[in-house]
Structure 1
C-alpha cells in the first residue's frame, strides 16, 4: 500500500522553533502508512494580494498550492503571537483561501507553547473551518513544553506516545476516506 502524504506546516519562522521540532519529531515517529513532508517555504511567500491570484501565480505560491494538492492531509503546528496566529502563517493561509487544493483536506493541529496558545488555536480553528478544512478534533492537541530540539522530544517517551497517538488518529481518518 502506498503511504498517505501528510504535509507538515509550521507557523513559526524561528530557527529553534518548538513547533517545527514537533513536526520533525512526528516525521520520525510516523507509521509506515504515513509519509510526512515538512513545508519549508513559509519565509518565501509574498504578502497576500488578491490581485496576484491570477495566473501565473507567484512561484512560491504555486509551489505551496502544489504541495497542498499533493497531500492527503495537513499537520499544522502553530505558535501564538499577541493572542493570535503569527502574521507569516496567516499570510500562508490567505494564499490558500482561493485555492482548489485546500477545501476538504483533513487537518490536525499541534501546539508546543509552554504557556498554551488558547487564543491562536481558537483563531486558527475558525480560519481553517472558514476555509472548508476537515478538522480532525481528536488529532488536535496541545503539547506544552515539548522542547525546541527534535532529540529532546524523541527522548521523552510520553511525548513520543502523544505524537504517535495523533498520527494514528490521522492515519485512521485517511484510511476511512
Structure 2
C-alpha cells in the first residue's frame, strides 16, 4: 500500500502485534502494557487507518482481534476514517474475514471509508509479493485517494 500511496501520505506499520498480551479487562485497569500504549498512541496520532487482513478459517486472525479488543474501552478509534482490505488465495477473497473485521470496527466507532476483498491473491503478486494485477492496483489507488480526500475535508468532532 505504501508504494501505491501518493508521496504526501505517510504510512506507519504497527509491527508489534505479537507483543500484545492477551486482552482481559482486568489487565486494562492498572498499568497498561507497553505494546498496548504504543498501539493506542499510533492510532490516536493517525489521521486515517488501513487494515489489511488475511482470512484464517473464515475469520480474521486472532492476533488482530486481540489488538482491536485492547482499544474497545480507550476510544482511539472513535470517528477514525478507515479502509478495510482482505486477501485470500481462494475465490472468496477473504470476504468473511473482512465482514468480521468491519463488525468489530463498527463496535469501535470508526468511519468506514471503503473496503476491498482481493480474491485469488497469489495470482496477483509477483515472486517478491508485489501487486502486479492492474485492476487490483487501480482499485487500491482509488481507495487511497478516497481516504486521503476524506481526511483532507473532514473536521473531527472530538
Q: State the TM-score bracket (shorter-chain normalisation).
A: 0.7 to 0.9
Q: How many residues align?
A: 150
* Structure with a larger share of its residues in helix: 1
Equivalent residue runs for 1:61-72 within 5 Å: 61-72=36-47
- 1:150 is displaced (CA, Å) by 8.2
1:87 aligns with 2:62: yes
- 1:88 is displaced (CA, Å) by 0.9
Structure of greater relative contact order (alpha carbons < 8 Å, 6+ residues apart) = 1
TM-score by length of 2: 0.86
SS at match of 2:54: coil
- 1:82 is displaced (CA, Å) by 1.7
1:140 aligns with 2:115: yes
Whole-angstrom CA distance in 1 between matches of 2:6 and 2:136: 16
TM-score by length of 1: 0.77
Aligned counterpart, 2:34: 59
* Structure 1 residue corresponding to 2:17, chosen from 42, 45, 50: 42
* Structure 2 residue corresponding to 1:167, chosen from 138, 144, 148: 144
- 1:126 is displaced (CA, Å) by 1.1
Aligned counterpart, 2:97: 120
- 1:154 is displaced (CA, Å) by 4.1
Worse-superposed segment, 59-68 or 30-39: 30-39
Q: Is the 8 A contact 2:94 2:118 kept in 1?
A: no
- What are structure 2's unaligned runs of at least 5 residues? none
- Across the aligned residues of Structure 1 and Structure 2, the Cα RMSD in angstroms comes to 1.8
* Structure 2 residue corresponding to 1:129, chosen from 93, 106, 110: 106
Whole-angstrom CA distance in 2 between matches of 1:150 and 1:34: 26
- 1:87 is displaced (CA, Å) by 1.0
Aligned counterpart, 1:99: 74
